[in-house]
Amino acid sequence: MIEEVPGRPDGVLEFMVSGRVASGDYDAVLTPAIERALQEHDRIRVLIQFAPDFEGYSLDAAWSDTRLGLRHWRGFERIAVVTDIGWLGTAVKAMAFAMPCPVQTFGLAELEDARRWLGEALGTIHLRELGGDALMIQMIGTLDADVYDRIGEDLETFIATHGRIRLLVDLRQFDGWEGISAMSQHMSLMRDHYRAPKRVAILGEAAWQHVAQRVFSRFFDAEVRYFQGADLEDVEAWLKQE
C-alpha cells in the first residue's frame, strides 16, 4: 500500500509505504502524483517512508517501479528513504551510487532530519570578480546538480565580456559532489568552456584536491597550477602575471 502524505512544501512529495505493494498502488497513487508534480517542476524531491510492516513488492509492482524510474530518470533532484528495515536500507545504499541524484537513508526516528535534508541546500558556488579578466570560483560544501544551473548564466556573461579569462578555483571548503548527476554537470561546464581560461589557479587544503590539477589540465587549453595551503594573495599574484 502506498499513501501520499499531504501538506508538503512545493516541489516535494512524501509517501508512506506499508504492507505488500502491488502494481495498482503505483497506478493509483505514486505515478499520478509524480507526473503531476513534474508538470509544474523540472525536478522534484521525494521522501519515501517504509513502515515496519512493509513486506516487499509484487513482481508487477517491481516492474512498475522500474518503468517509473526510467521514464523520469532526470526528474528527481533528491530522494530520502526512511526505514528501519535493515535489508531495505542496505539495498538503497548499494544502488545509490548509480542514481542520477543524491539519495540518503534515514531511520524512522530521523524522519524530521530527512525532511530537513530534502529542503536544505547541500552546497553552493560563489563567483567573485578579481579585477580585469580574473574570476574566482569558490566551491563550498557538497554540491548537487542544481547549483551549476544557477551559476551558468553569470559565468557565460563574464566570458562573453572578457574573452579568454584567468580563473581561480577555490576548493578549500569543497567536500565533493552529491551524486553522479552533479559531477556530470561539473564536467559538462568545463567541456563547454574549455577554451575560455588562459590560466587556472587551483587553491586547496586537502591532498585529494591535487587531483583537480590533472583533471583541469586535461579539460582546459590553459596553464594550470595547484596551490596547497597557500595565501589567497599569493595565488592571485600568480594568476595575474603576464
User: What are the residue boundaries of the structural domains of the chain, listed by start?
Assistant: 2-119, 123-239
Domain 123-239, architecture per CATH: 3-Layer(aba) Sandwich (3.40)
More confident site: 212 or 114: 114
**Residue matched to cell numbers 528501519:** 84
Rounded to 5 degrees, φ, ψ at 207 are: -60, -40
Sign of the CA dihedral running 70, 75, 77, 82: negative
Average pLDDT over residues 222-242: 88
**pLDDT of 84 strictly over 80:** yes
Does the model's pTM come out above 0.75? no
Contacts of 167 (CB under 8 A, 6+ apart): 134, 135, 136, 137, 196, 197, 199, 200, 201, 222, 239
Per-residue confidence band for 161, with pLDDT thresholds at 50, 70 and 90: very high
Topology of the domain comprising 2-119: Transcription Regulator spoIIAA (3.30.750)
212 or 149, which is more confident = 149
Per residue in 170-202, pLDDT (tens digit) is: 988 888 887 777 778 888 888 788 788 999 999
Print burial letters for 182-211: b (CB count within 10 Å at least 16), e (below 16): beebbeebbeebeebbebbbbbbeeeebee
Candidate from 23-27, 43-47, 95-99 with smallest mean pLDDT: 95-99
Q: Based on the number of CB atoms within 10 Å of its own CB, is 214 exposed (0-12), middle (13-18) or buried (19 or more)?
A: exposed
> Which of 146, 138, 147 has its CA nearest to residue 235?
138
